[in-house]
Every structure is written in C-alpha cells, then in structure tokens.
Structure 1
Amino acid sequence: MGLLSRLALLLRIRSKAALERAEDPVQVLDYSYQKQVEQLQQLRRAVADVATSERRLELQQAELQRQTERYEQQAFYALRANREDLARSILQRRELLLDQLNSYEQQLGQVRAQKEQLIELEQQLRMRVEAFRSQKEVLKARYSAAQAQARIEEALTGLSTEMTEMRLALERAQEKILTAEARASALHSLLEQGTLDSPLSPPLLPADGDPLDRELARLDQDEQIEQQLQLLKQRLLLDRPTSEGQGHLPPAET
C-alpha cells in the first residue's frame, strides 16, 4: 500500500470516527421517522393521483356508453324511416365506440389494480411508520435514561476518586501524626533517662554528637569538677594552721 493510499485510508477512518462521535441517536431517529412520513405522504399522493385517473376514465367511459346508446337509438329511427344505409353507418360508428369502451375497461382494470396495490402499500407503510414511531419513542426514552445514568455514574466516579484522594490524605496525616507522637515520646524518654539535657538546664554538654560522645564529655566534666574539689580541700588544709595561730595572739593595744 502506497503512502497516498494509507493517508486516504487514515482520513476515512478518522472521518468515520468523528461522524460517529458527532452522531446523535435522537436526531437520527427523528430524521428517519420524518423520511418515512414523507414517503407515506408521497404514496398517499400517488394513490390520490391514480384515483383521479380512475375517475376520469370512468367519466369518459360513461360518456362513450351514452353515445353508443344514442347511436343505437338513431339506427333504430333510420330503419323505421327506411334508411337502412344510414342505420348501417350509425351502427358502424357504434362499433367503434364499443371498441373504445373495451379499451377503457381494460385501462380501468389496470388503474384499479394499481390503485389497490398502492392502497395496500400505503396501509403497510402506515403500519410500519406507526410501529417505528412507537419504537422511536421507546429508544429515545432509553437513550435519555442511559444518558442520565451515565451522568450519575460519572458523578459517582468523580466522588469515588475524591474520596480515595481524601482517604490517602487522611492516611498521610495520620502517619505524620504518629511519627510526631513517636518522636515526642522518644525525646521525653531520653530526657527522663538523662541522656538528653532538658532545655531548662544550662547547656553544659555539646548539643551535637551521638550519645557516646555526650557520655564521654560528661565523664570528663565530672573528672574536672573532682580535681577542682580536691584543690579546694588542699587549700583549706593549708589555711587551717594560720587561722589557729591567729586565734591565740593577744589583742592589739589601742
């Protein structure tokens, strides 16, 4: 398949898909019903035309019948007047009219048969149109109900999607709350155990580092305090003899 052929096929496919999307079943049903009604009206006009032709032939036939009767009466008068030749001529004309009457009778038979056929077709088409109209209304009602149900389903689908999103958001919020509560509980336990200093106490230890670093820093601080305490005790021992000697000295003279 050449490039142009494939492009033409693609255009036909897209055009058909676009037409199917744009096609409204209600409009299609109404249009089909209108076309059938127009066909029924055309058939009724055809029946009326055939009936008019039948009536015209019947009138012409009746006129010819009256004319043949007059010719017969005239031929009788001619014979009574001893005009056999005239009577023969009149009867010859009458025979021609009788031939025309036979022809009219045949035409009337054909026209009547055609009229009966058209009337039968008109009745069948009328029944079909009435049945189609009833079916059309049922289909239109079903289509309207289907559209309403589709709109409800779409709304429920959107609501379900929103509910799913809200449920996920609620789960995320609960997860964050549980995480925050667990963190607060862990920090509280560390404060109670002394692993962490309370924010109300002086910042004696470094805030950074892991628990082992903080524990080593605490031990180093305790050792420094102990050394300072020993120094103070030694100083106190050194200051005692001096204090005792000064206690036995006589008071100064005034």
Structure 2
Amino acid sequence: MALLERVATLLRANLNDLVDKAEDPEKLMKQLVLDMENQLMQVKTQVAIAIADLHVLDKKRKEHESAAEEWKRKAELAVKKDADDLARAALERVLSSEQMAKGFAEQLEDQKAEAEALKAALRKLEQKLAETRSRCEILIAQHRRAKVVGRAQQAQHKADPVQHEASLAKMRTRIVGAEAENAAHGELAGGDSLEDRFAALEREEQIDALLQNLKSQHPA
C-alpha cells in the first residue's frame, strides 16, 4: 500500500541528518511533525475502514455458511420425500453457498492481515510522532539558544577590552608619530617661526579632535 510506504519513509527519517542539511531547521522540524500528524490521521482512517471491512466479510461468510446449512436441510427433506430432483437442486445450492463462504473466509484472512499491518504501522507512527515532537522541541530550543549565544559572542567581541585597548594603542602610536613628525619639521626649519607655531597649534588641535573622537567611540 502506498500509505504504508509513506509511513515507512517517515519512520526511517533520521532527524539529525535532516536538521544538519536544512537551511531553516525550525521550519523543517515543524513541517516534519505536521507531515507525520497528517499521515497518522490517514492511517487511523484506514484502520477504521479495515476493521469495518472485517465485520462485513465475516457477516457475509456466516450468511453463506447458514445458507449452506439451510439447503442441506432442504436436501434431506427432499430425499425423505423421494424428490430427487429437488434434492439435487438443493445440493447444488449447498455447494454454491459453501464455495461463497470459503471465498469470503479467504478474503477475511487477507483483510485481517492487512488490518494488523495497519494497526502495527499506526502504533509505530504514534510512537515515532511522540519521539519526534520531543526531539524537535529540544532541537528548536538548542537552535534558538545557539543563535542567542552567537549574537552575544559578537557583542562581546565588539566590547572586548583587549580590542578596545588595542584600538587606543594604535591611535596613541599615530598621535606620537604625528608629534614626532611635527618636531622633526621644526628642527629642520631651524626655529619656531610664527607660521610654524600656528601650524603646531593646528596640528595639536587635530590630534585632540582625533583623541576625543576615539574616546567617544570607545568609552572606558
């Protein structure tokens, strides 16, 4: 049956492998549970139909067995009355009813096997669904926690004091280099002219602005 094949496919599903390959694990897990719930409802419906068919087949078998017994009684009556033609006709009905009863009995056995297979699939699917629901809840919680931890680690990395100190050290190096360059230019010029003094003030002002900007970006 196609239905049992679909159920078997769901039962064989490896949840961890599916989650590892999924772009959106939460969406996949929710869809998997939904698919299993839909299959479960279909299996339950098929089980109910199979059981109903069992009752119908058993009823038909009993009806033909009763008919065979009744025609046997009539055949005996015909023999007692020396009505061989009626007896032969009744015996013909006996054979026909017995054959029909045998056919329904065979169908009944086949139907029992099918009903048992559906019941077994239903039990396994119910168990698998319960396990999958629990497993999905755990995996979804782990997935969400992993995303939170990832965001926290990113935020921590941005606020890492080591990184902060490295940025300050880098800026201090730039400031010291700028001051040394300024001093070197002054020495090469042989004195502090008015232009040099104003240039130095402007350089210091730029340096102060850089330092204040750095401090505002990385408060202590």
Q: Same fold (TM over 0.5)?
A: yes
Q: Tell me the equivalent position of 1:111.
A: 111
Contact 2:61–2:102 under 8 Å retained in 1: no
User: What's the CA shift string for 1:91-115, capped at 9, x where partnerless?
Assistant: 1111111011111111111111111
Q: C-alpha displacement at 1:168, in angstroms?
A: 3.4
Match of 2:148 in 1: 148
Give the deviation of 1:84 after TM superposition: 2.8
Counterpart for residue 168 of structure 1: 167
CA drift at 1:81: 2.7
* 2:85 aligned residue: 85
Please say if residues 72 and 91 of structure 2, whose CA atoms lie closer than 8 Å, have aligned partners that are also in contact: yes
**Aligned partner letter, 2:163:** T
Asked if structure 1 preserves the Cα contact closer than 8 Å seen for 2:71 and 2:93, the reply is yes
Amino acid at match of 1:103: G
Counterpart of 1:74 in 2: which secondary structure?
A: helix
Paired position in structure 2 for 1:69: 69
- The separation in 2 between residues aligned to 1:102 and 1:114, in whole angstroms, is 19
Instruction: Give the equivalent residue in structure 2 for 1:133.
Output: 133
Query: How far apart, CA to CA, are the structure 2 residues paired with 1:89 and 1:210?
Result: 144
Q: How much has 1:80 moved relative to structure 2?
A: 2.9
Counterpart of 1:63 in 2: which secondary structure? helix
User: How far 1:48 moved relative to its partner?
Assistant: 2.0
Letter in 2 for 1:27: K
**What secondary structure is seen at the aligned counterpart in 2 of 1:146?**
helix
Deviation at 1:142, TM superposition (A): 0.7
With CA pairs under 8 Å and 6+ residues apart, which has the higher RCO, 1 or 2?
A: 2
1:99 aligns with 2:99: yes
Structure-2 residue corresponding to 1:121: 121
Answer yes or no: is the 8 Å Cα contact 2:54–2:108 preserved in 1: yes
Gaps of 5+ in 1: 1-19, 181-207, 212-254
For residues 153 and 128 of structure 2, the distance between their equivalents in structure 1, rounded to whole angstroms, comes to 36
Say if 1:170 and 1:81 are closer, same or farther in 2 by CA, change over 3 A. Answer: same
Give per-residue Cα distances to partners, 1:27-56, cap 9 Å, x unaligned.
Answer: 110001111221222222222222222221
Partner residue in 2 for 1:38? 38
Q: Secondary structure at the match of 2:82?
A: coil
Query: For residues 34 and 170 of structure 1, do their structure 2 counterparts lie closer, same or farther at Cα, with a shift above 3 Å needed?
Result: same
**TM-score normalised by length of structure 2:** 0.63
Residues 1:53 and 2:72 aligned together = no
Gaps of 5+ in 2: 1-19, 180-188, 193-220
1:85 Cα deviation after fit: 2.4
Instruction: Please give the alpha-carbon distance, in whole angstroms, between the structure 2 residues aligned to 1:152 and 1:209.
Output: 56
TM-score, length of structure 1 as denominator length: 0.55
What is the deviation of 1:170? 7.5
Partners of 1:118 and 1:90 in 2: how far apart? 41
CA 1:110–1:176 in structure 2 vs 1: closer, same or farther (change >3 Å)? closer
Which whole-Å CA distance do the structure 1 matches of 2:146 and 2:80 have between them?
Answer: 91
Q: CA deviation at 1:210?
A: 5.0
Aligned partner of 1:66: which letter? S
> What value does the CA root-mean-square deviation take over the aligned residues?
3.1
Identity of aligned residues (%): 22
2:67 maps to amino acid: Q
Q: Give the Cα–Cα distance (whole angstroms) in 2 for the partners of residues 175 and 88 of structure 1.
A: 122
What is the Cα deviation at residue 87 of structure 1? 1.7
Q: In structure 2, do the counterparts of structure 1 residues 210 and 69 end up closer, same or farther at CA, with 3 Å as the change threshold?
A: closer
Output the CA distance in 2 between the equivalents of 1:176 and 1:26: 51
Measure, in 1, the Cα distance between the counterparts of 2:167 and 2:96. 104
Deviation per CA, 1:170-208, whole angstroms, max 9, x where unpaired? 78569969x99xxxxxxxxxxxxxxxxxxxxxxxxxxx9
